[in-house]
Structure 1
Amino acid sequence: MNAVMHMRAQTELATIYEISKILTSSLDVSKTCREALNVLANNMGYRRCMIIVDTEEGELHLLAAVGLSPEEYDAGHYRPGEGIIGKVYSNGMPAVVHDLAAEPFFLNRTGALDHIDGERIALAAMPIRVAKEVVGVITIDRVSERAGGGFNDDIRLMTMTASLVGQALALQRTVLAERNQLISESRRLRQELKGRFRLDNVIGVSKRMQDVFAEVHQAGPSRSTVLLRGESGTGKEVIARALHTLSPRKDGPFVKVNCAALTESLLESELFGHEKGSFTGAVGERKGRFEMADKGTLFLDEIGDISPAFQAKLLRVLQEREFERVGGNRSIKVDVRLVFATNRNLEKMVAAGEFRADLYYRINVVSLFLPPLRERREDIPPLIAYFLDRYNKDNGRELRITQEALNVLVNCYWPGNVRELENCVERTATMARGDTINELHFPCQTNRCLTQTLHHVDKDDAVAPVHGHGHGHGGPFEISVPVPELPHRTSAPERLFGEEMPEGEKERLIWAMERSGWVQAKAARLLNITPRQMGYALQKFDIEVRRF
């Protein structure tokens, strides 16, 4: 008898030791409790073991069990005071039932009496406490006629096991409470810092830019087409790169094209590529930007400056996501995310018939409006600090700027936006003598700032005619800019073409220049292209601009 008791004591000690190691191995109490019950059942020969804990809803649910089928496990939920388990939880006292079949309070909810083959099944239940509060119940059931018959040993073992489980639950609940507190604090801080988004290489602490950053973070992960709207110099290309970086295509190529810098024929070849021999000078096959941007992002800047004829070609590509190279007949399909940008008023252009309505609707899926610098003056000081720091690093200087100089820049109009501010900081830093930039270093303080002629003007876009409002103080403002005199000619050269527009591209350029008195801007309007495109085309065909 003593040998049996000694062996059981050794088994209990080994069981408790194993259970303590398991319960302290992880904060996943569902997993560790299930492993602990496995050890308990295997070492002590129990039929079933269960751990039931309370929930936030006030019910009791199974946390872990051994010897139950999935269906029986799903049925393991109780209410406090219901059945034997509910009563043990409510009164905090252990319970022993020698014959479950004869116990009227036993619910048999998990099928403990199923398939017992006439054996008498006993059950022992022990409350689990955290501090002095009952948080659950641990139960075991076994054949009642087992050798040793009594339950004193079982109760002693279950008391120690329940204490260890209670400690594990207490630790888990403490960690969970701290985690919830951290989440709550994080949520509170996010609420306080609501809108404080960041984008790489983009500076913006103002409310207007934070709204833009939020929209970029929202639109970036999708594959939707994005149209960036804003004045020249507001950072549309930087935002386009941010959209690419935030997208699943960030490891793919980011390809950019300035549509305003190319004529229609060059733009078609640039975007779609060309086959060998498709035109004079096409000595080899060449991939276009659409192909180069496959599985990545294609950024088409100045989309409002493309010709009506090319708008139709681009529309088909956007609809089908396929195209043919110039001089080819093989359709090429690409997987490209498109980002467009313009400083033009596309709505007015559509109304005037200068921009196709169907193309407008195709590209205007997600519109992001970038505010001009004068509408987000809070961003000017950090931008100045960034530009000045970069200048100092690049040039080995230690320039700083005074508060008075900073106030001058903050109150400027900045028609060229961030690009103009960057140039102004670099120009002033370059010309500054000494290590300090003060307000007298800026040309505007001595009425030598040429961009003052662009201040306070009405303009639809970067190339539209401007109409002055006068100075901000109410009176008109003027600035004199010396213009060098050009050699005077008494008569214009003889025209090469009549009133009708000729067929060839070079001939059309000369015809437009003749009709506009060799003024490039007027000729560009006649051909419905931008002055930049006009200048590029004149250079391409080596057309000398006549002056008279």
Structure 2
Amino acid sequence: MNTQRILIADDEPLFRDTTAELLRDEGYECVCVEDASDAINVLNEQSFDLILSDLNMPGNLQLELLQEGRTKFAHVPMIVVTGVPSIPSAIQSVRLGIADYLSKPVKFEELLASVQKALLHRPAAVVRVDTGDEREAGFNSKYPEIIGKSPKMRELLEIVDRVSPSNTNVLITGESGTGKEVVAFAIHRNSPRRDHTLQVIDCTAIPESLFESVLFGHVKGSFTGAVKDQTGLLRACDGGTAFFDELGELPAASQAKLLRVVQEQTFTPVGDSQPIKVDTRFISATNRDLSAEVDAGLFRQDLFYRLAVIHIELPPLRQRGDDVVLLAEAFLKKLRPAGSTINAYSPETIDCFRRYRWPGNIRELRNVVERAIAMTHGDTITPSDLPDSIRNPADGSTSEMAEVSRDEALDRADRAYLHALMEKHDGVIASAARQAGLSRQGMNKLLKRHEISADNFRR
């Protein structure tokens, strides 16, 4: 079983031990340390999938673990849980790209939801197929992050190939789990800016009150707790690319502040009077229909036009034909434990993959493959290793689906996915939203649209 490993660094024995015990009950492997120095030593010796860290503990007076964790161990997501929250530490944490910033006391369901989101929010399609015929397997040597040979993916690669060498701003849209971040990284890596920073800015992780400080930086004394000058995220990616993930979640006030930067390539740090000039390309991503948001007055039209000079729409997995098989095979090679003899899917399993509509897209497929690897007892993954929802899709058989309109079929699939998600999380909207890669507000809208009440799933 490929158990995910979590490092817990906290000097409070009760919180540390209780959290570890609860996470172990959820199937995670936990290693506990009580100070930052031990945490760094353990990280140098062992591999982890997630770091769960306090801020105020021995050896972390200058946020050493946070600093080193985001540089030397940047591939491991980190969640900060602190009993002494402050604006400077929140700004520094968000600036360094942490997955979440939580304040004690924290409910375990909230912490668990944060852990699940951090572990799920890995680039879904960054895998390489190790075969003798990579082209036939859907592997493109120029864009190894992107797997697929369906007509829609060939068309997508052509667009990415044209867009990458330019400085034009790009908006990437598509359903949750379709690989928007993967495409953004591919564009940057093949651009003239490749040797400079690609700065990921998660719009859901930045509190509105900290937006200016995180993006533009601040000067010493500009607010309580600002004990030194702080460089903002935009200054850090000067010459590179700023990737605004979940752009549709940006509040109206923050949209106005971002517009000036995009238009003029200048900004002023909080508490300063001298504007700073930058040279930055903007790539943005959202699962929302921003055109509809503009029409509804929820998103600024001028900002939309500035950021969506080139609009790339990623196809959902259900429209990509046998790409689902290519991705499943790639995930099997990537996720199986070292020395494992698991090497294939049965023909019946492949049929299940082809029939299922994958409302969670590539991210859902990865989770299913990871679960199947843990469940199987032989060398071959069979339908019995798959969740019942994959073996027996709630949205009906192929012939039945052909009798309804496309919109109705998609509506059924979405509704079935929401039901399964809410049942899994006992009606906790925040937890379900994190797994789906949505904001709480976005999840509420979907539940309301499908007339699903969270109360029906609470135990």
Q: Using structure 1 for the length normalisation, give the TM-score.
A: 0.48
The equivalent residue for 2:149 is 205
Taking the aligned partners of 1:281 and 1:266, their CA distance within structure 2 comes to 13
The equivalent residue for 1:315 is 259
Question: Which of residues 250, 255, 266 in structure 1 aligns to 2:199?
Answer: 255
Taking the aligned partners of 1:530 and 1:359, their CA distance within structure 2 comes to 21
Taking the aligned partners of 1:325 and 1:458, their CA distance within structure 2 comes to 53
The answer to whether the 8 A contact 1:255-1:293 is kept is yes
Matching residue's letter, 2:339? G
Distance 1:343 1:483, change over 3 A: closer
Please identify runs of 4+ aligned residues in structure 1 that moved more than 3 A.
Answer: 195-198, 445-452, 456-460, 466-472, 477-486, 518-521, 532-535
The equivalent residue for 1:377 is 321
Secondary structure at 1:377's aligned position in 2? coil
**Residue 428, structure 1, aligned to residue 337, structure 2:** no
Taking the aligned partners of 2:207 and 2:314, their CA distance within structure 1 comes to 27
Matching residue's letter, 1:253? T
- Residues 257-276 of structure 1 aligned to structure 2 (within 5 Å): 257-276=201-220
Matching residue's letter, 2:269? R
Taking the aligned partners of 1:406 and 1:534, their CA distance within structure 2 comes to 31
Residue 451 of structure 1, CA deviation: 11
Residue 279 of structure 1, CA deviation: 2.7
Q: How many residues align?
A: 292
- Residues 117-516 of structure 1 aligned to structure 2 (within 5 Å): 198-392=142-336, 394-399=337-342, 400-444=344-388, 469-470=411-412
The answer to whether the 8 A contact 1:197-1:214 is kept is no
Matching residue's letter, 2:440? P
The answer to whether the 8 A contact 1:260-1:532 is kept is no
Taking the aligned partners of 1:395 and 1:371, their CA distance within structure 2 comes to 33
Residue 450 of structure 1, CA deviation: 9.6
Residue 198 of structure 1, CA deviation: 4.7
- The structure number with the bigger radius of gyration is 1
Larger CA deviation: 223-232 vs 427-436: 427-436
Distance 1:431 1:280, change over 3 A: farther
Residue 480 of structure 1, CA deviation: 11
Distance 1:404 1:292, change over 3 A: same
Secondary structure at 1:261's aligned position in 2? coil
Matching residue's letter, 1:385? E
Unpaired segments ≥5 residues, structure 2: 1-138, 432-437, 445-457
Unpaired segments ≥5 residues, structure 1: 1-194, 461-465, 487-517, 522-528, 536-546
Distance 1:467 1:326, change over 3 A: farther
Distance 1:248 1:327, change over 3 A: same
Deviations 1:366-419 (A, max 9, x none): 111110000002211111111000112x44312121111111112211111111
Secondary structure at 1:218's aligned position in 2? helix
The equivalent residue for 1:538 is none
Distance 1:317 1:533, change over 3 A: farther
Distance 1:380 1:274, change over 3 A: same
Residue 530 of structure 1, CA deviation: 4.2
Matching residue's letter, 2:193? R
Taking the aligned partners of 1:418 and 1:282, their CA distance within structure 2 comes to 42
Taking the aligned partners of 1:303 and 1:468, their CA distance within structure 2 comes to 24
Percent identity of equivalent pairs: 40
The answer to whether the 8 A contact 1:244-1:297 is kept is yes
Residue 519 of structure 1, CA deviation: 8.5
The answer to whether the 8 A contact 1:272-1:325 is kept is yes
Taking the aligned partners of 1:485 and 1:373, their CA distance within structure 2 comes to 27
Secondary structure at 1:222's aligned position in 2? coil
Residue 329 of structure 1, CA deviation: 1.8
